[in-house]
């Protein structure tokens, strides 16, 4: 081996790559071709663990695509609000993943929807980066410090607002419409005020706030054109329209409320994918 090649080998990273792949909203075929290729060639596929002993959402979505020889690893991302405990959980998950990356093995992490849009992948990737920064690169026998860490590659996925609109046969946005996405309702007054500005509002989590939101929409005359999509693209998907007739509804956690504030055409599609 020539000297220059030897030197080049010394600086080349031995880290495996961390892929973040959006599994899409639920229908297994709504993953991208690129995402599926990466998923299927990865020896190790990781995803957020489920609750109560059930497989997690992303795991359910991709299960039909996994080969029997692929290793899987469920990572614990607890549903808690405490910042310190969350950071500990992300670091623990990152440490598990780093064990493989450090051995030069690629790891594919999948989460439901998109991996940049309110996704656990963001936390995992940051912890992996933070914990690997300054870790000796085990190929470089000289013990030189790699400050770069593993390469992290993000492959986008279909997020739920796009899916909900498609399933309901509505355009989500048209022409010059301003879109606002709210991950939760914090403040009824703020939502009301916001509707003077936005053309379309998407509420990502409804939960126990249904009646509060319903009252605001009634007051703003937006109930009629609004719709809710529960579990978009899953076999158990439900679409709720004519919300004026539903002052109370009990909805799944994965339910989106789409509120066309300004004029919107009637739906053109149907519920088939």
DSSP H/E element including 86: helix 83-102
Select 178 or 208, whichever has its Cβ closest to a second copy: 178
Select 193 or 247, whichever has its Cβ closest to a second copy: 193
> Which letter, b or e, does each residue of 100-117 get, where b requires 16 or more Cβ atoms within 10 Å of its Cβ?
bbbeebbbbbbbbbbbeb
Strand partners, 238: 230
Q: Are 185 and 191 in contact (CB under 8 A)?
A: yes
Select 50 or 171, whichever has its Cβ closest to a second copy: 171
Q: Does 221 bind a second copy (CB under 8 A)?
A: no
Q: Does 189 bind a second copy (CB under 8 A)?
A: no
Select 176 or 250, whichever has its Cβ closest to a second copy: 176
Supply 52's token pair: 């109560």
Q: Are 58 and 45 in contact (CB under 8 A)?
A: no
Question: Could you say which residues in the range 116-135 bind a second copy, by CB under 8 A?
Answer: 116-119, 122, 125-126, 128-129
**Cα 122 to Cα 80, 116, 132, distances in angstroms:** 16, 7, 15
Q: How many residues does this entry show for the chain?
A: 273
- The site string for a second copy over 66-105 (x = CB under 8 A, - otherwise) reads ----------------------------------------
Contact footprint for a second copy (CB under 8 A): 22, 24-25, 27-34, 36-37, 114-119, 122, 125-126, 128-129, 151-159, 162-163, 165-167, 169-184, 186, 190, 194, 197-198, 265, 268-270, 272-273
């Amino acid at each position: 081996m020539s000297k220059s090649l030897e030197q080049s080998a010394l600086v080349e990273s031995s880290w495996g790559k961390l892929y973040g792949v959006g599994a899409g909203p639920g229908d297994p075929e709504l993953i991208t071709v690129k995402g599926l290729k990466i998923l299927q060639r990865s020896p190790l596929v990781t995803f957020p663990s489920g609750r109560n002993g059930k497989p997690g959402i992303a795991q359910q979505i991709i299960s039909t695509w996994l080969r029997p020889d692929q290793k899987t690893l469920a990572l614990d991302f607890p549903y808690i609000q405490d910042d310190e405990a969350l950071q500990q959980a992300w670091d623990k998950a990152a440490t598990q993943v780093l064990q493989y990356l450090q051995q030069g093995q690629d790891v594919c992490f999948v989460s439901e929807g998109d991996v940049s849009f309110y996704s656990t992948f963001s936390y995992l990737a940051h912890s992996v980066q933070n914990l690997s920064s300054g870790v000796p690169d085990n190929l470089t026998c000289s013990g030189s410090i790699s400050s770069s860490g593993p390469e992290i590659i993000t492959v986008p996925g279909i997020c739920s607002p796009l899916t909900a609109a498609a399933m309901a046969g509505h355009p989500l946005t048209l022409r010059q419409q301003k879109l606002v996405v709210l991950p939760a309702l914090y403040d009824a007054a703020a939502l009301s005020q916001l509707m003077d500005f936005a053309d379309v509002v998407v509420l990502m989590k409804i939960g126990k706030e249904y009646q509060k939101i319903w009252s605001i929409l009634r007051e703003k005359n937006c109930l009629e054109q609004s719709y809710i999509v529960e579990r978009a693209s899953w076999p158990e998907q439900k679409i709720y329209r004519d919300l004026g007739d539903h002052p109370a509804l009990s909805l799944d956690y994965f339910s989106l409320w789409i509120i066309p504030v300004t004029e919107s055409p009637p739906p053109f599609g149907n519920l088939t994918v």
